[in-house]
């Protein structure tokens, strides 16, 4: 699993573009992260790349290697993973969460997004998160799937839920 994390600071400070010498107003964003689905593209090797955009008003997105205390440390802690992609299948016209079976080698689609650090005086962040999903489809009699995505910040604030597009299984 490979996670790419691209970060662009919302805190623009003072604008110099186009010869302006005045400061831009700081954006007023909520402390909860906001996410938006961007893409879920199939790669030539059969894997998929999930890309979401995010904003966060207080800039506490991501976990560092130093996050070694609960609730982020133990693999069984609810917040050990800060990006959760819940697998759902279209069953008889309704989206149903798929119950994973660890005994069958099915593991949750959960990820640890690295810590992002804002620049400047404004802590707000925006950027994109790209996840390489080597395994993304589970065996079942149904042919359509999607992921319900939630991002948690270090203060344990949950984002809104975003959904991938509908994907047909291979």
Q: Which pLDDT belongs to residue 43?
A: 94
Q: Which pLDDT belongs to residue 74?
A: 73
Separation CA 92–CA 95 (nearest Å): 8
157: which 2 tokens? 């604030």
**Beta carbons of 158 and 150 less than 8 angstroms apart:** yes
**Most confident option among 17-26, 100-109, 143-152:** 143-152
Q: Which pLDDT belongs to residue 31?
A: 83
**Beta carbons of 8 and 117 less than 8 angstroms apart:** no
The structure's pTM equals 0.80
Q: What confidence tens digit (pLDDT) does each residue in 27-81 have?
A: 577 889 999 999 999 999 999 999 999 999 999 999 888 777 777 777 777 888 9
Q: What confidence tens digit (pLDDT) does each residue in 113-151 have?
A: 999 887 778 888 999 999 999 989 888 899 999 999 999
Q: Where are the beta strands (DSSP E) in 14-143?
A: 34-42, 48-56, 83-91, 94-97, 109-111, 125-133
For residue 12, pLDDT beyond 70:
no
**Beta carbons of 87 and 138 less than 8 angstroms apart:** yes
| Domain total in the chain | 1
Print the domain residue range for 132: 2-168
């Amino acid at each position: 699993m490979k996670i790419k994390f691209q970060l662009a600071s919302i805190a623009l400070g003072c604008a110099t573009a186009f010869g302006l010498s005045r400061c831009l107003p700081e954006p007023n964003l909520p402390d909860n992260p906001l996410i938006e689905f961007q893409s879920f593209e199939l790669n030539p090797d059969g894997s998929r790349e999930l890309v979401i955009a995010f904003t966060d008003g207080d800039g506490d997105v991501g976990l560092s290697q130093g996050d070694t205390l609960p609730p982020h440390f133990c693999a069984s802690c609810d917040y050990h993973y800060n990006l959760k992609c819940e697998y759902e299948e279209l069953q008889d016209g309704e989206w149903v969460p798929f119950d994973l079976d660890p005994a069958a080698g099915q593991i949750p689609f959960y990820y640890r997004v690295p810590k992002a650090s804002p620049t400047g005086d404004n802590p707000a962040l925006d950027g994109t998160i790209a996840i390489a999903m080597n395994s993304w489809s589970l065996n079942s009699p149904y042919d359509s799937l999607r992921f319900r995505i939630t991002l948690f910040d270090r203060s344990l604030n949950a984002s809104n839920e975003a959904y991938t597009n509908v994907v047909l299984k291979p």
